[in-house]
Each structure stands twice: as structure tokens, then as C-alpha cells.
Structure 1
């Protein structure tokens, strides 16, 4: 069989990769530090240089001898960086600066003083990409520093970053192909440019649920390395708040108190004002979008729920492109809020009393609007439903209500296996854990400052938009399966999906006593000062690289089981609208899978409508894993049946799109594509694998997985 253009390209790529591999330079030297470190104990600073500040100038004008830099997408890297910075400063009495990577220009790392330690906490986003906040830093590393690589070791003192003393903790997910790509890349490029790795490179794996344990192991190794190589003196760690709660005076104007409003624009502004309709809307300022329509997608016979929700953007300048993500800002459910109150004995008087939060250093940044109340923070700002870590339990143990509880907390926090058996496996959150340890005795000694600093703040939840910006210009659809799980001791619910379920149930006036839909938890749907009433929810749009080909005539293969069909629905609707507009569109081959054709077949009635419009240009192939008790059928099984047609689409320069579970489905689907190429083109596995890898590099194989 003759090789086509794609085949030749693949073979050339393999040759180049092989050549690169066998001619790469030797491993780099880690080096040691020569300069001593200051032991002054100043307050930890979370520095905001949003004006494009120069980190070198900041360090020269201050007395900080350590910098913790984080690049975070969902807040996890920020949370770990903050914990590390506080403990590092407390343990070694080294003045530490905490920095969001997007707040500073880092293109002059070669000028960082030699007596400064730099710690990078770098999350990997998507398929090996830098987070949005770290994109500029990534470009600098890949475009400028990568060009300085030497073919041999050379003189370390002459390398660009020989002044830099650093360590890296990468945050990633092993279910993705490019696991911890960003952390690895940062470590490699810095080292290649002469930077000294003064503590071991570490990485955490969210895919295996071991992020906390991975971090703790790395942190201990890091501290030991620093003590041994730099002769740092370790001190007993004590809790030192970096913020102070200041009660407001009796005559304080309550209208100026934030009761859960997302930011200052929603406090006293008229909702028709420009600030509330023109944005810009992003992760710091959401739009309160009305949910104009919602419905259940699963059948009434199902014991699971899936919500279709439509967000009206017409009264704002907020827009999206087909394939983008909608970020939903959730609040905490009533039941978890009350449980938190119980755990810390927060009375109504304590909850409603306004207070301000003052940083103990003038440049510390408070990440939520103030003045506020404890009630507002617990419901709208603190991630009280999330998992608890051994480190958190160790830190809070000093505030235990009695000696027995303190001993139990210390035992669990120091024993990985016991902690896993009693806490992690049962998915207990902070309130659950503390009440279990103390036999329901409230932890009244815990300062609220500690909770503000130690509990991660609620982050937006991201959903693939299931509509088309061409056919629904001012409406964004999302498709969400309601998350709920029962452990041995409790029901665990997804915060955002159950919020959507509450909206759907109330919007459609389904009374719990008359309906099969009975939410496990409830929410305050009116929101602070009733600003969320009439089913409004705070949202923003996150741009995505998951996009249709520029040329509408390009064939596309879509693989989206379960809610992975959400963006595929948007793609199909886009092509339908283009077709109606007289545009020549390419063929669509959609593989969709669910459990049962009569239970959870999403948008079942719609696909026939699209077929009526597109005719032979659209083909949908279904797989039902529980339709036949004797045989489970998945999308990859059906793909193998269509191997000839898939190869035909690929030969016609078609694009591949996969959306859904990253842990198994995405890998199985990729392996199936490789099998099909081997079968249809008579390639060996190495060439077929490299062909798919080449497709990904050229954006012809795109994944939107979680």
C-alpha cells in the first residue's frame, strides 16, 4: 500500500524524535549554595504585583529570602503553596514571599539574588499545558530559556540561571497522557540553564487521589534536604496568624457589609449598571446569569439525575465560542453549613456580627471582599465540603477541645493508614472529621483566623458548554450529572451539581412530596440580599482550545460517552446551523455511550432532528453498557466495528474529538484508534502510536477530559 502524506509525515516525525533522543546532552548538575540565608522572622506576604511588577526589584527592596510562586488553575496549587510558605517560614524563620505567577514578570530570573530560595508550585492544565495564569511564564521558558540549552555541561558559572536556587512541586493527574508536564518542564529548563535544585523535585497525583500524601512526602524530603545542604536551623512550628479579625463598631453601616456578594460591584450597585452588565467577567468578577430554562434529562425511572440548564447572557456583553467552558460559582448547601456551625459552636450572634479582616502585613491580599460576616464566609467562600488532609488535622490539633481529642487527632494525622481507613475512605469533610474525633464536642478554641487561612476557598466548577454560539448566541447550555455517593457513614454530594438540581426542581415547581426528584441537600437560592432570586447564579466563561476545525468542510469524529457528549452536542448544533446558512459542512461521525437507551440517553429526541437536517453528513453510533445483561458494550467496541469508516475520515484529513473520563475511557479510546490504524493501514504499533501523537501535536486529535 502506498504511503499517503500523513504517513510520510509520521515517519519523518519518528526519525526526528529518535535523532533528538540519541543526541541529547548529559544530566545537569544540581550544585550547592554558597551564600548564607537571613533568619529574620517577618510576616508572610502574599504579594500582588498586578501592574506587571518586577520580582527582582521587590526582593531588593524587601528583606525576603524565600519566594513561593504558584501557577494555579482551580486553586489547588495556590492552596498548597500557601500552606508550604507559612510552614516554611514558621519552621526556619526565613522571611517568605507568596506570589501568584501572573502578578509578576519573571523574565529576569537571572537577576534573582543568590541568597534567595525559590519554590515553584506548578499545576498542569489540560493536555500538558500551563495554567492560564502561568501562560506568559511558559512562553518565556519555552521560547527564550529553551534556546540556551547546551549540548554538554559546560561551565555552570557561565549559564544564564547559575544564580538561581530552587525547587519545584508539580501538581498533575496521571490519568492524562502528559502527567505533570508543566512541573517536569519547569524543572528541566531551569536546571538546563544552570539553576541549582536545592531540594528534590516533587509531584502530586490527583488522578490517584494521593495529592495530599504526595505533597507531605515531598515537603518532608524538601525540609530535610534544606537542613542538610544549607545548614538551616529548624524551629518548633507554632501558629502565627497572618490576618487579624477586627469587629466593626456598633454604628457601622450594615449596607457596606458583604453578606456573600461575589465582589464590590454587587454590594450597592444598581444591577442595571455598566459594571454588572459589561464586565469584564472572569475568575475575579462573575456575571449573575439567569437560568432561563432547566430540565431533567434522565428518565423518571432512573435513580440518578442529570440537569440541562440554560444561562441567559443577553443582558450582558458576556459571550462564548462553541467548545468553551462555563464556570459556575457554587455556594455551600444548608446541611453542610449547619454541620460546620455545630463543629465550631458558631452561634447566631457570632455568625451575624460584622467584622473586617486586616492583614498583619500591608501587602497581604485578602481573597474575598470585606467587611463581612462568618455566616457569609462559611456559606459562600470556604470550601467546607471538601476532603480533609492529615496536615490540616495536625495543625488544628492544638485547638482540640480536650486532651483525648488532641491525642486522637495527633494519632490520625501521623498515621497514614489509620487516616485513610477512618477519614479518607469515608470521604469525611472538616466538620465530619472533627466531630468524629471529639465525639460531637464542639471545637470552640479554634480561632476563626485559623479557619480563614487554613481552609481552601470555594473555586468555580467548570462545565463544557453544550450549545453552539452560532445557533444560541446569547444562551449557554450546560449538561451536568448530579453527583452523589453513599459511604459507610454519610451521603456525599457534589456542591455545584446539587445546586443545579435545586434550581431545576424549584424552577419547575416540583414539590418534593409529589415528585420522584428529592434533592439530598438544599441551598439558599435567593442568595445574599436576594440578589440570586429568580434563579440567578454567578458564572464566567473560560476559553478552551477544544475547537472545531477552521474549515467547516473538514470531517470530524466525535467520541463522547455520558456527559462527554455535551461539547459534541454543541459541535453538531454548530454544523447544523452552518448547513442551514448555506455553508458546505463536512461529515460527522459521533460515538455516544450510556448505560441504557431508556434511562440515561442524553438528548435522545434531538439527534434524529439533526439527522433530518444533515442527512448522510451525520451518523450517530450508540453503545449501551447495561442494555444487555450478558454483554457490556462501550464506545470503543463500536469504534472497532467502524474501523474502515474511521480510517476513511482520517484519510480525508478529518479531526478527532474525545470528551469524558480521563482515567479509563480516554485511554481506551486512544488505544482503539491505534488499533484501527494498525489494522487498516498495516502499520506496526510504534508508527500507529506516533501517528496519534502527531495528530495531538498538530491539534487534529483534541481531548476535553476530566
Structure 2
């Protein structure tokens, strides 16, 4: 392509070098960037490559900065939408992941929006640990010039709902910032809160930037619209295989599912998640209706949508997880002082235990109250998709996606209880269909340098993405070594994918395998214990450039593994506690310590 005569020859060469080899998405982004430069009539610099920026990076005081922290991708998705809407209105905005944000810039920010998820019961997402720690520290600057707004994403089945967002909002005010918009706290039905919050926040940003008479530049969407299935328009996929992979004597029912992607146009990479929209079991819906003496055929209108009460409960409302807002509403309706006491600030431990051990049906039976169908549907949290780490590489399985699923089944006071998604999936027969979509996880990727070694720590179903990792590394002939730490209660009944790992060892696709079967001996042994046993070699691998991955339970395993890695740093690297923490934080910042925990 010939460049116009008004473009200097030296710049033509630079443009050629810049665009060579770029895909269409990157070229589209550059197009939006240069349009912003022209419109702004000023010299703008682009963000460094690691920063996920969606706009030209003008002087900090002349733009809306949007920082996001995301564990599963929801906060990222909301933040991207916020940035794209800002750009569509002509506002100059930049979008930065929390671990890519240069904290020294904070003292100069004038307009800052933060979209932050809460992981588990009050923890920040992995990509935001350092940012949150900085804000909480004495190093955080005074912010008298800052106008800010915070949107939190969380799960109201935990007592500390949106706890990280609440603490960030309070801390920015403590540092002297002016709250431009009230804190938003979105439950799993994210859009219910996120959409109106974003509408208001964008309007306030327009006023704030217009008041400064700021030249504006547009934002080019990061993801061009496609016809592929999405969260809101999932693909109806066929089940090809649904088989148990634990033995009959196991305390667990773990399934391996293979699902067809034929005709979906869906693609994924190792580390991504599969989103599944479940349906509540009819027996549970009928029990709820019977307990409340309600008719499933009753027509309920919410907004402009009318459905039968049975359909609302089966496909659109959460029935297996209690939430604090519903508990509060039910306590008032039942007139229960006992339930009201659980909602007091000094009763967090009791509330946590109550929410973890009881489902909706248990609450309705133990504390009777009279609900109308309409009030019930309005009070219950909307049913949301469940995310599962993908257990396959598309380089190997082509138009398929595989899952490793642990079913949740237990008894409460003699009655059966279950998890909605695992019950839904486990009951599917081959040939039946389920609604799915792909959720990207950019933070949980294999190293681009295939000569790098990888250490994978995944007990139980946390091993799922590492099955995908090993498949991918084999298919791409990666020269780096692969080391897997796996654990479960019993060798004989719970060794998931045993024959595959043995074959991978024999073929040279897996170089080390350390196993921790906790109940096969008097003293319980876990993956973190195996890490400590192999401390010298683990440290050597890491210092030679290995990437470390952890997948599984966030509440205990991931924290114990984290502590084991810190001990390895202190022991093998002769580090003190501060140095070990900085070492591990540095690995995370380089993308060499990644976690997919839940």
C-alpha cells in the first residue's frame, strides 16, 4: 500500500514496521488510536504493551482512568464495557488491569473509576493483590484532587459481600478523594446493578471532563462484535460423553464430560473456562412451591417479561444458595428475632455458618413465612451461569470441550441437597444439550516461550486445566519440562486421569509427578506438603525461569500452597519474610505465578 505524500518517508518506514504481522484486531485498535490522536490535536502516548489500554494515554489529569481487578473475567467485562461507552461518547479513557497500573500515577489522577471483584469471603482478586496492598499502606498518597467511583462485584452468599470494593471506596475517601458516585455493589446478577451504575457514572464523567474543557478521543472496542455464542446468547451444545472417573468406593462423584462445539464457532485456549447455564431440578422447584403453598402455573410479570412461577424458579432464580439480602427479607416477613440477630455486625461468624450450611428450602421450612409468587421472584437472586476450568486442549480435541466435574450432594436433616449446576450436568445423558459459552482467562495462560518449564499444582478437580496444559504442550512440541502436583483422599478411588498421567510420563509429555493422597496414611499429606518436600528442586526450577500455576479451592488449599511457596523462598533463597513476599509478588507480576481458584 502506498503512503500519502504528506507522510514523511521516515514515518512510512516506522508505520510499516509497526503494522507488520499484526492481526485485524490489533490493526483496528491502532486505527482507533490514531483517530484519537488526530481528534485530540495533541501528542499522545500509548500505554506500555503489558497494560490493557483501550484508549490513548494522555496526561493523567486529562482523562478518565478505569482500573479493574477480576478473578473470573466478570469485572474485566464490565470495565471494558464502561471504557467502550466512555469512548463512544467522545471521552478520553484508558483501561488498566490493577496489576499493570503504575501506582506512582495515583497522586496525579483526577478522575478514577475502579471496578473490583471480591474473591471468596473478602479477598481481592489475584491481579489486584499488590494494588490493594498499596492503597492500604502508608505509602498511599493523599488525594485531594481526586474524584472517584467504585463498582464492586461479589456474591451475597458470603457475609462480606463486595468487601474489597467497600474497603477501597472507604480508603480513597480517607486519602482525601471526593466520591463522585455512590459505591455500587453488584451480586451475581451483575447487570442489575452494573448497568444503572454505569449509566450514572458515565454521565458524571462527562460533566467532570467537560468542566475541564478537555479535548476528547474515542475508544475502539477491544473485542469486535462476532456471531459467536456469548454469555447472554449461549450455544446449545450436545453432550458426547458423561462418565464417572472415581471408583465405586470413593466418597466423591467426579465426572468427565465431553461436549461438542460443532457449529458453535467457539474457540478457546488452555486456561479458559466454560460457562454453563444450569436448570434447577424439578423436584426442588416443586418442594419450594409446596412449602409456600404457591401454584407453579401462576403467571408472574417482572418488567416486560411474563413467565409461569415454575419457569421463573426453574430457569431464572437461585434456589440452592442462600444470600444475605434474601435472608434479611425473609427475617422481616417471618418476624424472626433469631434470623435478625444473624444479620447484626457482630454475628458474621454465625451468619457465615448459616449461609454455608442451609439452602432456601431449609430456611423456608424452619422459619415459615407467607410469600406471594411475585414477591418471591423479586426477592430471589437471579440464577447465574457456573464457570468450569476447561480440561482439554483444542489442538488435540478439535471441536470439543472437556470438563472435570465434582458433583455436590449431601444430606441436611435427613433430606437430600445438591448443587444446582453439578446436579444439572451429572444428570445429562449423551445426546442431550446444554447452553454454554467460553469465558477467556488471560491471566492463566501457558508461557509463550515454549522452552519454559511449568509447575502445575492442582488437587482434586483443580487438575482440570493441567490436563489441557499437558495436551497443549505435547501438541505444540514444547521443549520445556512439565511438573504436576496432584492430590486427593485415596489413591485407589480418587486418582483422576491416572492412566493419562502414566502415559504422559512414559511418552515424555510429563516429566515429574508428585502425588499426595491425604487419607492413605495416618498423617494427612497434601500438595503443599509435597511442595515443601521438593523445596530445593522447586526453587531451582523457578529460579531457572519456570512458571507456577495453582488451581482449586481458594479458601484453604490455595492459601496453604502460597504459604509453602513463601517458605521455599525463605528456606532455599535465604530470604526473610519481606524478601520472600517480594519474590513471590515479582513472579506474579511477571505472569510466572498464576492462580485459578474458586
> Under TM normalisation by the shorter chain, which class is it?
0.5 to 0.7
CA deviation profile, 1:247-292 (whole Å, cap 9, x unmatched): xxxxxxxxxxxxxxxxxxxxxxxxxxxxxxx842111111111110
* Structure 2 residue aligned with 1:428: 358
Q: Which TM-score applies when normalising by structure 1?
A: 0.58
Residue aligned with 1:211, SS: coil
Displacement of 1:392 in angstroms is 3.0
Displacement of 1:299 in angstroms is 0.5
* Structure 2 residue aligned with 1:477: 402
Partners of 2:135 and 2:542 in 1: how far apart? 37
* Structure 2 residue aligned with 1:669: 561
Q: Of the candidates 594, 602, 605, which is equivalent to residue 499 of structure 2? A: 605
Q: Of the candidates 370, 386, 390, which is equivalent to residue 321 of structure 2? A: 386
Displacement of 1:641 in angstroms is 2.7
**Structure 1 residues 137 and 651: alpha-carbon distance in aligned structure 2, compared to 1, 3 A threshold:** same
Partners of 2:340 and 2:573 in 1: how far apart? 60
Q: Of the candidates 251, 256, 266, which is equivalent to residue 303 of structure 1? A: 251
* Structure 2 residue aligned with 1:453: 378
Q: Does the CA contact (< 8 Å) of 2:68 and 2:79 recur in 1?
A: no
* Mapped pair 1:594 → 2:509: no
Q: Of the candidates 347, 358, 370, which is equivalent to residue 443 of structure 1? A: 370
* Structure 2 residue aligned with 1:315: 263
Residue aligned with 2:564, SS: helix
Q: Does the CA contact (< 8 Å) of 1:279 and 1:318 recur in 2?
A: no
Displacement of 1:333 in angstroms is 1.4
The equivalences for 1:590-669 within 5 A come to 590-614=484-508, 618-628=511-521, 630-669=522-561
* Structure 2 residue aligned with 1:544: 441
CA deviation profile, 1:631-685 (whole Å, cap 9, x unmatched): 2221122223323322332233111111112222222222322333333333334
Partners of 1:127 and 1:632 in 2: how far apart? 31
* Mapped pair 1:560 → 2:458: yes
Partners of 2:490 and 2:409 in 1: how far apart? 19
Q: Does the CA contact (< 8 Å) of 1:128 and 1:181 recur in 2?
A: no
CA deviation profile, 1:15-57 (whole Å, cap 9, x unmatched): xxxxxxxxxxxxxxxxxxxxxxxxxxxxxxxxxxxxxxxxxxx
Partners of 1:320 and 1:571 in 2: how far apart? 12
**Structure 1 residues 436 and 641: alpha-carbon distance in aligned structure 2, compared to 1, 3 A threshold:** closer
* Structure 2 residue aligned with 1:333: 281
Residue aligned with 2:578, SS: helix
* Structure 2 residue aligned with 1:704: 596
CA deviation profile, 1:317-363 (whole Å, cap 9, x unmatched): 1111111101111111122201221243222542xx5x65446xxxx
**Structure 1 residues 455 and 338: alpha-carbon distance in aligned structure 2, compared to 1, 3 A threshold:** same
Partners of 1:556 and 1:614 in 2: how far apart? 14
The equivalences for 1:269-418 within 5 A come to 279-350=227-298, 353=299, 356-358=301-303, 370-389=305-324, 391-396=325-330, 400=333, 405-406=334-335, 411=340, 417=347
Q: Of the candidates 211, 217, 220, which is equivalent to residue 160 of structure 2? A: 211
Q: Which region of structure 1 is more displaced relative to structure 2, 422-431 or 489-498?
A: 422-431
**Structure 1 residues 419 and 431: alpha-carbon distance in aligned structure 2, compared to 1, 3 A threshold:** farther
Displacement of 1:396 in angstroms is 5.0
Number of residue pairs the alignment of both structures matches: 477
Query: Which ranges of structure 2 fall in alignment gaps of 5 or more residues?
Result: 1-57, 84-92, 180-191, 193-225
Q: Of the candidates 694, 697, 703, which is equivalent to residue 586 of structure 2? A: 694
Partners of 2:594 and 2:141 in 1: how far apart? 29
* Mapped pair 1:140 → 2:75: no
Residue aligned with 2:256, SS: strand
* Structure 2 residue aligned with 1:574: 472
Partners of 1:208 and 1:330 in 2: how far apart? 18
Displacement of 1:687 in angstroms is 2.4
Residue aligned with 1:557, SS: strand
Partners of 1:358 and 1:202 in 2: how far apart? 24
**Structure 1 residues 123 and 596: alpha-carbon distance in aligned structure 2, compared to 1, 3 A threshold:** farther
